[in-house]
């Protein structure tokens, strides 16, 4: 199974590395029909089908009908490809980047929508949870999701001093709800989410003249 880079081994995230453009001759020698997007999509399908422990560049190349070395025209390492696959899967959240819900539900309803969408993602792609622990998770879809979470917590009315703690609690909950060891049943998950929301509500500052906030019904 993939692990973070070995101690003492420097590794730059694929999202931070600057890859020099290949010379024209090298580009024309590359395998026909391949590009980074197609390779990444195939990697996601292979990870879904066989799991992270069995993933290899050779197995991926066999699925694409090319040699393993052909893949290295487009990615430098297997770790780079796994980072790309991770962010591609996060992109499936799609509309969950701006979770919709009845206006009366406010931010609690939006947080429930966001959490349930993320839980479905982890269920559909069990390899995502361990990769989020192994890699920086700073691709464009991951950053979009993080921005959505920031905006959602801004809407809670939490004082600045407690907002960072709430963000940490929500992030830990979202990553843990997919559970690499045990995924809680739906009932337990919803109860835990209600407790989390109640904790945030207990620290919010209600608007002047407004009564105490109450969590939306699940």
What is residue 15's DSSP assignment?
T
| pLDDT tens digits for range 80-113 | 999 999 999 999 987 444 445 444 468 999 999 9
Q: What is the pLDDT of residue 70?
A: 92
| Total length of the chain | 218
Question: Which of 92, 33, 86, 85 minimizes the C-alpha distance to 64?
Answer: 33
**What is the distance between the terminal CA atoms of the chain, rounded to a whole angstrom?**
37
| pLDDT tens digits for range 152-198 | 999 998 998 899 999 999 998 988 766 555 567 888 889 999 999 99
Higher pLDDT, 115 or 105: 115
> Does the model's pTM come out above 0.85?
no
Q: Please determine, for residue 6, whether its predicted confidence score (pLDDT) is greater than 70.
A: no
Residue 33 backbone zone (phi > 0: left; psi -120 to 50: alpha; other: beta): left
């Amino acid at each position: 199974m993939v692990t973070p880079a070995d101690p003492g081994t420097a590794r730059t995230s694929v999202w931070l590395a600057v890859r020099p453009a290949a010379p024209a001759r090298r580009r024309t020698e590359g395998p026909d029909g391949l590009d980074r997007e197609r390779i990444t999509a195939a990697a996601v399908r292979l990870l879904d089908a066989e799991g992270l422990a069995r993933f290899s560049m050779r197995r991926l190349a066999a699925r694409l009908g090319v040699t393993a070395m052909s893949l290295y025209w487009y990615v430098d390492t297997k770790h780079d490809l796994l980072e790309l696959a991770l962010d591609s899967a996060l992109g499936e959240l799609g509309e969950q980047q701006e979770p919709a819900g009845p206006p009366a539900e406010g931010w609690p309803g939006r947080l429930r929508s966001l959490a349930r969408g993320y839980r479905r993602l982890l269920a559909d792609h069990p390899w995502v949870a361990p990769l989020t622990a192994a890699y920086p998770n700073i691709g464009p879809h991951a950053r979009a999701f993080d921005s959505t979470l920031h905006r959602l917590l801004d809407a809670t009315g939490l004082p600045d001093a407690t907002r960072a703690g709430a963000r940490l609690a929500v992030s830990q909950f979202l990553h843990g709800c997919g559970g690499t060891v045990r995924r809680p049943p739906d009932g337990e998950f919803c109860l835990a989410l209600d407790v989390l929301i109640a904790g945030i509500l207990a620290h919010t500052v209600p608007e002047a003249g407004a009564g105490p906030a109450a969590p939306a019904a699940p």
